[in-house]
Structure 1
Amino acid sequence: MAIPTSVSSSFLLILLLVSSLLSLSLSASSRCHPDDKRALLAIKKSLNPQNFASWNPRTDCCGWDDVICDADDQVVRLYIRYTTMIGSIPAAVGDLRYLEILDFSYINNLTGSIPYSITKLQNLKSLTISRTSVTGPVPEFLSQLKNLESLDLSFNELSGPIPASLADLTKLGYLVLRVNKLTGTIPDSLGRFKSNFTTFDLSHNELSGTIPKSLGGLNFQGIGLSDNNLVGDASMLFRENSDALWYDLSRNQLDFDLSKVRFPKTTSSLDLSHNRIRGSIPKQLTELSVAELDLSYNRLCGEIPIGGNLQTLGSGPFYHNKCLCGSPLPKCK
């Protein structure tokens, strides 16, 4: 029996649609570069596969959770965060050769050291390994990542000295190594950075010795050196013509004359508490819009200058000094 022309045409149309959809599906599943896909699947296998439910080898890896591709379908960003994993950072991350941003953060039970294979990521601009249990040193080999602009290794179990070779990262503008177990002195070479830093933070470690004078040449918005064992002069960090917004040098053993310091006009937060700082509070502080101030637990003397918001911050920022007086503390005798 002959098939009516209308039915035949409809059947052919359906076949064409199905074929087209299959073609689109196959095309979509092959968008991801095969090398990138192999690397990502190796990463999944090395860690906890249950955390990578969307990383299905039958689908396009550019559509997987936490994976971002560029217009050429190369993986350029990888975010692995807020999860629990067992193991160390897989060496396979180094096979994502077009990667620009790599972020391992807020990961329970991620241990081991930072793998050397990361040096293969010559396009990398931002490296974050934060709030993990990663151990070992801050690797010397990170200086090979010549395009790195941001390095955040905070809240880990890293130990040993800060490599002087980090100064070879000429594009670096964000360096955060806070809350680790780093020891030794701050390398003088770090003062060679020519980039404008948003943040330079080495706080909450076990660093010792004096602050290198070379750090006085850094251009930063904020610097954190708190909770270390630093001694001596820190006055070189304050330049009136800089654009610094915040300083946290608290809980060290710093010893210098505060009365000789001229602060940047942009200063909004200043914590110098728990040191051995002497002299008097400079009148210039009344000219600044300092919203957060803590000068407590030092060896300051003299009358607190009147003006600005110094009297509105309460007495807490001035407690436990040698002989400070005047509002908001008791009157000078």
Structure 2
Amino acid sequence: MRKSLFTIPLLILLTLPILSLSKQVCNKDDEKVLFKIKQSFGNPYHLASWQKTLDCCQWYNVECDLNTSRIIALTIFQGNISGQIPNAVGDLPFLQTLVLRKLTNLTGTIPSAITKLTRLTMLRLSWTNLTGPVPSFLSQLKNLNFLDLSFNDLTGSIPPELASLTNLGAIHLDRNKLTGVIPDSFGSFKGSTPDLYLSHNQLTGTIPKSLGYLNFTVIDFSRNQLTRDISMFFGPNKTIQIADFSRNSFEFNMSDVAFPASLTSLDVNHNKIFGNLPQSLTGLSFQFLNVSYNRLCGQIPQGGNLQDFTSNEYFHNRCLCGSPLPACT
């Protein structure tokens, strides 16, 4: 029986090695850097997949660009990682995302080598035991659109240079031990106005008036030692949606404040705010509201969803009354 002309070539094709699976696609320079990072962290089990036998684009915690085979993301989350952030991190020139999060044994300061990562768009160093200042050299990362240094032990003042980052969408400096004032430069962000999270620090002083010229979407200044007026963040043309100014020493008359229609969450509990709750609050759709522990007086406006909240969100004011508090007399 004569064999088909296609049989032999087909058999040859089936027995050939699949080159695409055996080919090394990870950039060798990036691979060397990753091994240095692994060694700096003491070769932890969390990075066990970082082996020569496996292409580094297939390692856990890293991501490669499919076209260039360069490392573009390094994300190490919730592992038993000890030590400091190695300077070798700065030797991944195509890196766009750097996340070191929930690594409670990560210590030391933020290294200046990070400034070499000129393509970086996301920097998230949070829930660690990093110490030292918020470095002013982070302002050199001109492509950064997300900065998260929350839940650390950072100290010192907020560097005003951060306001020069024109692409920022959010800044998280909350849950640290920062002191001093909010920089006046934060009222001159170019481009879009970032969501600003500065809560749970030891910030003092008044809010710079320059911040009132911007249209924030989210502000969280809660649990600091800030004083005076915050009404500049509100107004009929503002776009703020979530505002948390609770547990400070803010003091202003709430009676004539015009709250924007965009506002869905307002927390000003534990301050020194006085006056009445304006009737205009009934026109807003609040998902959260807390004005307790202030010096407010008068009847709570009836209408909207103001009565959907419990007395806990209104009590401990000077003479506030009406549903859901006891009736006014």
Q: Same fold (TM over 0.5)?
A: yes
One-letter identity of the residue aligned with 1:171? N
Q: Find the aligned partners of 2:28 and 2:326 in 1 and give their Cα distance.
A: 73
CA distance in 1, matches of 2:188, 2:15: 63
Task: Write the letter of the residue equivalent to 1:53.
Answer: A
After superposition, residues 8-47 of structure 1 pair within 5 angstroms as 20-21=17-18, 23-27=19-23, 30-47=24-41
**Preserved contact between residue 62 and residue 75 of structure 2 (Cα < 8 Å):** yes
Aligned match for 1:232, one of 228, 231, 239: 228
Equivalent in the alignment of 1:79: 75
Counterpart of 1:60 in structure 2 is: 55
Q: Which amino acid aligns with 2:181?
A: T
Per-residue deviation at 1:240? 2.1
1:203 aligns with 2:202: no
Q: 1:177, 1:203 within 8 Å by CA — same for their partners in 2?
A: yes
| C-alpha distance in structure 1 between counterparts of 2:77 and 2:27, whole Å | 23
CA-CA distance at 1:152 after TM superposition? 0.4
Cα distance between partner residues in 1 of 2:175 and 2:225: 14
Residues 59-83 of structure 1: per-residue CA shift (max 9 Å, x gap): 2111111211112111111100011
Deviation, 1:225, is 0.1
Q: Report SS of the residue matched to 1:216.
A: helix
Correspondence for 1:3: none
Distance in 2 (CA, whole Å) between partners of 1:167 and 1:199 is 12
> Deviation digits for residues 192-240 of structure 1, max 9, x if unmatched?
1133346211000000000111111233221000000000111111132
1:114-193 correspondence to structure 2 within 5 Å: 114-193=110-189
Q: Quick one: distance in 2 between partners of 1:11 and 1:307? A: 84
* Aligned-partner Cα distance in 1 for 2:37–2:316: 53
Q: Measure, in 1, the Cα distance between the counterparts of 2:42 and 2:175.
A: 26
- CA shift, 1:12, in A, is 10
Rounded Cα–Cα distance in structure 1 between residues aligned with 2:72 and 2:112: 19
- Give the conservation status (yes or no) of the 8 Å contact 2:38–2:47: yes
* 1:76–1:100 contact (8 Å) kept in structure 2: yes
Question: Does the 8 Å CA contact 1:269/1:292 hold for their aligned counterparts?
Answer: yes
- Residues in 2 aligned to 1:169 and 1:257: alpha-carbon distance in whole angstroms: 34
Aligned equivalents of 1:13, 1:331: Cα separation in 2: 90
Code of the residue aligned with 1:283 in structure 2: it is Q
CA contact (8 A) 1:41 1:57 kept: no
Map of 1:316-331 to 2, 5 A cutoff? 316-331=312-327
> In the TM superposition, what whole-angstrom CA distance separates every residue of 1:248-302 from its partner, at most 9, and x where no partner exists?
0000000011112111201111000000011110111000001211000001111
For residues 270-281 of structure 1, the aligned pairs below 5 Å read: 270-281=266-277
Look up the equivalent residue of 1:44 and give its one-letter code.
Answer: K
- Give the match's secondary structure for 1:92: helix
Q: Quote how far apart the aligned CAs of 1:314 are.
A: 1.6
Q: 1:51 aligns with which of 46, 64, 67?
A: 46
Say whether the 8 Å CA contact 2:158–2:178 is kept in structure 1.
yes
Cα shift at 1:311: 1.4
Q: 1:296 aligns with which of 292, 298, 302?
A: 292
Preserved CA contact (<8 Å) 1:228 1:251: yes
- Looking at structure 1, the residues matched to 297 and 62 of structure 2 have their Cα atoms a distance apart, in angstroms, of 57
Output the amino acid matched with 2:240.
A
What is the CA deviation profile of residues 67-116 of structure 1, one whole-angstrom value per residue up to 9, with x for unaligned ones? 11112111111100011211011111101111111100011210000011
Q: Distance in 2 between matches of 1:18 and 1:108?
A: 50
After TM superposition, the score normalised by the length of structure 1 is 0.92
Pairwise CA RMSD:
2.0
Question: Is the Cα–Cα contact under 8 Å of residues 279 and 301 in structure 2 kept in the other structure?
Answer: yes
1:37-60 deviation per Cα after TM superposition (whole angstroms, max 9, x unaligned): 111111111114221111112321
Q: CA deviation at 1:26?
A: 4.1
Q: The residue matched to 2:211 in structure 1 has which SS? A: helix
For residues 96-115 of structure 1, what are the structure 2 equivalents within 5 Å? 96-115=92-111
Secondary structure of residue in 1 paired with 2:128: coil
2: CA distance, partners of 1:164 / 1:225? 17
Q: CA deviation at 1:243?
A: 2.2
